[in-house]
Amino acid sequence: MPTLTLKFGGTSVGSAEAVAQAVDIVAGIARNQRVLMICSAMGGVTNLLIEGAQTAAAGDGARYQAIAHMLRQKHEAAIRALVDSDVERIALHDEVEALVDEFETLCYGIYVLREASSKAMDKVSSLGERMCVPVVSARLRQCGVPSCSVSASRLVITDDQFQNAGVLFEETGAAVRRELLPLLDQGVVPVVTGFIGATRDGVVTTLGRGGSDYSAALLGAYVDSAEVWIWTDVDGVMTTDPRLAPDARVIPVLSYGEVGEMAYFGAKVLHAKTVQPLVERGIPVRVKNTFNPAAEGTLITREEHAAPGTVKAVTAIGDVSLVTVAGRGMIGVPGIAARTFSAVAKRQANVLMIAQSSSEQSICFVVPEAKSREVVAAIKAELETEFGRQDIDRAWADDDVEIITVVGVGMLRQSGVAARVFGALGEAGVNIIAIVHGASDYCVSMVVRADDTPRAVRAIHKLVVLNGDAAAR
């Protein structure tokens, strides 16, 4: 019997009603399939945990206690509404209580030290998923589905890059097969914590915000799932962020490449690494709405479907910074770009896009805003001699920018697509600061002023995505 991997995000397990709905969906599917379930923390919980640790680090000894109270209330209310058995209720109560106590102890330590290391942040932020999965699993049992909860710290083995850990694939594959296959073989639905992992020594790590999608893909790949279904609070992957443009539409089919670019460049609906573990095995992903399960959702597969030239989506990503290194003496001087990027790499800053002006008088690239000061300082140190000789005049970071990306297979082979995009921006009066055209065959990215982003996204969505869609039909 094939296995289906089903992941439910924060909103999909955000309240007792939502958990009941998610469990109904799983119970229905589990009647004739093997099911592996992955859950996020209840909606809002991860944010509260992080806020508790951050306020404690800043010297506030009261906020984390108030948050602990809210966490108890939220989970206790869910337990009361979802589970009838007294024995189950008492066990769940003890489990949640122990985790909230752990939160308070950790925050107290952070408060005393006035410091939250990234290791401590991972320990704190992992608690939400750990509080949630036992409740969901108990509800499944109540509905007659054999189930147990499993912490991914025994399954997803990672390096020690806390808050954005890298997965050790072989060890993870072995652990997942060893722990989960016997359960699936017995007809049990394992409910596994998304988002979290652990180092070889068992120290808790996380896969980055929104990482439960990636967890589901990893676990789904290693149990040889037929498909991975991401259950969320919208009808599928949409032509743009529905909060930015209410006329956004669901995209029925997408390729791994297209969705990979969308997620990387800001479509929050999927974590950027989600498709990676699935590509090699060709495991399809479906994105579906927990609150509207009848809707088809989006199917993501290896195949590329679309007439070349079809622009499928537009995304935006903020919290980035445009770093520019400029100087007349840069013309023809070999190695400046290489040294610039080696200075960036030493700061472990992820370069999201690179653009170079044709005169070679400047290099510009985009890094996460949190790294921009460090990166500029590192470049100034690395190129000190060139600055001294005035071959380079300036290196600076502009934090007031965002990246807009237009996505669609074969877009670049079709002449005129970029012109339509730039035309839409012109009509909306948006100035383009930098462009990358051709980093992959799936997308064109532009840097614009942060203030211009909503207008720019709406203009491209209306004039290029929806219009192009109409033209393609």
Tell me the pairing of strands 3-8 and 189-193.
Answer: unpaired
Binds ligand ADP by CB under 6 A, chosen from 267, 311, 379, 395: 267
Using the rule CB under 6 A, which residue among 107, 121, 175, 234 binds ligand ADP? Answer: 234
Q: What residues contact 87, with CB distance under 8 A and at least 6 apart?
A: none
In the complex with ligand ADP, the residue whose CB is nearer, 197 or 210, is: 210
Interface pattern 361-380 for ligand ADP (x via CB under 6 A): --------------------
Residue 134 interacting partner from ligand ADP, Mg ion, ligand ASP, none (CB closer than 5 to 8 Å by kind): none
Binding mask 11-50 for ligand ASP (x = CB under 6 A): -----------------------------xx----x----
Residue 233 binds ligand ADP (CB under 6 A): yes
Residue 348: its H or E element: none
Nearer to ligand ASP, 214 or 387 (CB): 214
What is the rounded CA–CA span in Å between residue 314 and residue 426?
16
CA angle 294, 295, 298 (to 5 degrees): 135
Among 3, 4, 6, 11, binds ligand ADP (CB under 6 A): 11
Task: Pick what 405 binds: ligand ASP, Mg ion, ligand ADP, none; C-beta below 5 to 8 Å, kind-dependent.
Answer: none
**Amino acid identity, residue 443?**
C
* Closer residue to ligand ASP (CB): 162 or 442: 162
58 CB neighbour count, 10 Å cutoff: 12
- Candidates 438, 374, 376, 371; CA nearest to 410 is 438
Task: Transcribe 397-453 into DSSP letters.
Answer: EEEEEEEEEEE-TTGGGSTTHHHHHHHHHHHTTPPEEEEEEEEETTEEEEEEEGGGH
- Beta-bridge partner residues of 448: 402, 432
**Binding piece for ligand ADP, criterion CB under 6 A, among 57-65, 119-127, 265-273, 441-449:** 265-273
Phi, psi for 262 (deg, rounded to 5): -60, -45
Which partner from the list ligand ADP, ligand ASP, Mg ion, none does 311 bind, CB cut-off 5 to 8 Å by kind? Answer: none
Q: What share of the chain is helix, strand, coil (3-state, %, to 5)?
A: 45, 20, 30
Which of 161/361 has CB closer to ligand ASP? 161
State CA 444 to chain mean position distance.
21
Return the one option of Mg ion, ligand ADP, ligand ASP, none that residue 211 interacts with (CB less than 5 to 8 A, by type).
ligand ASP
Residue 52 interacting partner from ligand ADP, Mg ion, ligand ASP, none (CB closer than 5 to 8 Å by kind): none
Beta strands in 218-329 (DSSP E): 227-232, 253-255, 285-289, 298-301, 313-326
The DSSP 8-state label assigned to residue 462 in this structure reads I
**Closest separation between CB of residue 91 and ligand ASP, Å?**
23
Q: Which of 173, 194, 309, 408 binds ligand ASP (CB under 6 A)?
A: 194
Residue of 14, 52, 210, 327 interacting with ligand ASP (CB under 6 A):
210
- 193 is a site residue for ligand ADP (CB under 6 A): no
- Count of positions on this chain that bind ligand ASP (CB under 6 A): 12
Q: Which of 40/55 has CB closer to ligand ASP?
A: 40
Q: Is the separation of the CB atoms in 363 and 337 below 8 Å?
A: yes
The site map against ligand ADP for 39-58 (x = CB under 6 A) is -x------------------
209 binds ligand ASP (CB under 6 A): yes
Beta-carbon count within 10 A of 178 CB: 11
The answer to whether the CB of 107 falls within 8 A of the CB of 53 is yes
- Residue 240 as a binder of ligand ADP (CB under 6 A): the answer is yes
- State the Rg of the chain over Cα: 24
Q: Kind and range of the H or E element at 257?
A: helix 256-264
CB-CB contact of 147 with 137 (8 Å): yes
Q: Does 241 interact with ligand ADP (rule: CB under 6 A)?
A: yes
Give me the residue label for tokens 């009647």. 31
Nearest residue to the partner ligand ASP, using Cβ: 212
**Residues 64/111, Cβ–Cβ less than 8 Å:** yes
User: Segment contacting Mg ion (CB under 5 A): 2-10, 54-62, 439-447, 459-467?
Assistant: 2-10
Q: Which does 41 bind (CB under 5 to 8 A by kind): ligand ASP, ligand ADP, Mg ion, none?
A: ligand ASP
Contact status: 211 vs ligand ASP (CB under 6 A):
yes
| Token pair in block for residue 338 | 């290489």
Under rule CB under 6 A, which residues in 109-138 are in contact with ligand ASP?
128
3-state DSSP assignment of residue 228: strand
With binding defined as CB under 6 A, does residue 149 bind ligand ADP? no
Binding-site member from 195, 222, 229, 442 for ligand ASP (CB under 6 A): 195
What is the three-class DSSP state of 184? helix
Binding site for ligand ADP (CB under 6 A): 9-12, 40, 210, 232-234, 237-238, 240-243, 267-269
Binding site for Mg ion (CB under 5 A): 9, 210
Binding site for ligand ASP (CB under 6 A): 9-10, 40-41, 46, 128, 194-195, 209-212
